[in-house]
Chain A
């Protein structure tokens, strides 16, 4: 057996029909022309004529037939691929679930065996098949995908190639019958292939690839750092931005949370909410506001952290360091009275305590609207 692990390149797309398989076949041809031994281990053409035509010229290993409850099913021939031992094998649909009775339950496990045999693999997957994105994508599209792959599978890929197409182009392809046969086009247009679905899925796919690239770059940077540099990096390093919004249980905080959440969405960042609770009780209005903040945080998919302290700047700084915060958002402080006016304002204190962390004071837009009124 070859000791070298094969090289895995995954073509990732937002939806069926963007051209992942097509692109995989093009790369297969290029490798073959470069003199490598290339075979197709498994190809799903979905009756697309262009795809089938492009596969011509590349040897296709026959599928094996598996009997399951009286029905003959066709699956990829894993032992056949390993026995044939090509330099490069094209294996479509990484998230596929195999019929019972073959070596593995999932195709990505077959691919692991192929890679372990020293064979390079080109494969394809759609973004909604990623386990961690499944809930998000199903909420976006209303369609839950049952065939998923753990994110680590994509994380272990040596290369991820995003096969991108604008939603408008994909819809044109769908209407032209290049994705599904004519009888399925209307149903597809009315369900999964709605422009808002595709826009959201495209964003998820783009972000996923950006995160993978960022993660790989970080791992590479870590690998070339000296031991001293590694040891001195004691602060948690954020991969991207991480936002922390300072809230209090009063209605105006909801606005701050909404603004912070929108900013986090734009940056593709995580958001934490923090309330520094003074060691005293809450009145009924505050209890109600706190409950609604918890609800808002839960609906938005973020967390409300509650810390009890008298020293607000120190407590915020401690949480920000612990969470790896890069960006703090806060509302305008209430006007100070009496001797409190002599204190250094909270934003300045935070900037002193947290060098390198941005502090943003969120404006009250309605105040501006009032001012603009004649």
Chain B
């Protein structure tokens, strides 16, 4: 075999190597190829420091079936004597940990998560602002027996009447005590 042929073979091998190195990320697979891009967005609003496990599971089931993005949204209330743009760090102390916990659990099941924080004079106002800003295909909320926690019956009624998305309201159930709480559910130091 002549030297010229060897040089040509060498150049071709180098080109193939460089092209392959450019095209493939270090661990061999192109990102995002195994899953089509999600198109639907499922809003999962919550307040306080825990979320009903049933609501979370329902969101995960639907998102898996529809290849949708889960949008967990922490709703914070800004007291009337503060400007609406005020920071609310005390409420966020719990909310941020819970968002982290939800994100970890959902991503561990192969789902895409895009978290949000909504702020308003009331939980309903925070949700209204969030829904005015972005489009969602579904909203999943859990009804509660306690009038002091989360969205009230009136809020849910408002949600059904006014929100241009499919609303899934989970009825209160005995296993509602099972919840994902901020403190207990985060994997590792947060």
Contacts and interface: CB of A to CB of B under 8 A. Distances in A.
Interface of A: 135-136, 138-140, 142, 144, 200, 251, 254-255, 258-259, 261-262, 265, 288-289, 291-292, 295-296, 298-302, 335, 337-339, 341, 363, 365-370, 372-373
Nearest to B41: A288
B21 A299 contact: no
Contact of B104 (A138, A139, A339, A365): A365
Interface in B103-151: 103-108, 110, 112-117, 119, 133-134
Nearest to B100: A258
A262 B86 contact: no
Contacts of B159: none
Contacts of B113: 251
A163 to B, nearest CB: 23
Per DSSP, chain A at the interface is: helix
B148 to A, nearest CB: 13
A366 B107 contact: yes
A335 B134 CA distance: 31
Nearest to B85: A298
Contact of A337 (B23, B91, B105, B116): B23
Contact of A365 (B18, B112, B190): B190
Contact of A369 (B93, B114, B187): B187
Contacts of A255: 100, 103, 115
Contacts of A296: 117
B7 interface: no
Per DSSP, chain B at the interface is: mixed
Given A255-B103, A370-B108, A373-B108, A300 B92 contact: yes
Given A262-B190, A369-B104, A369-B108, A139 B89 contact: yes
A90 to B, nearest CB: 33
A138 B79 contact: yes
Given A251-B113, A365-B187, A369-B104, A299 B119 contact: yes
A144 B21 contact: no
Indicate the member of A140, A254, A298 with the most B CB atoms within 10 Å: A254
Contacts of A300: 87, 89, 92, 96
Interface string B50-93: 00000000000000000000000000100101100111111111
Contacts of B110: 370
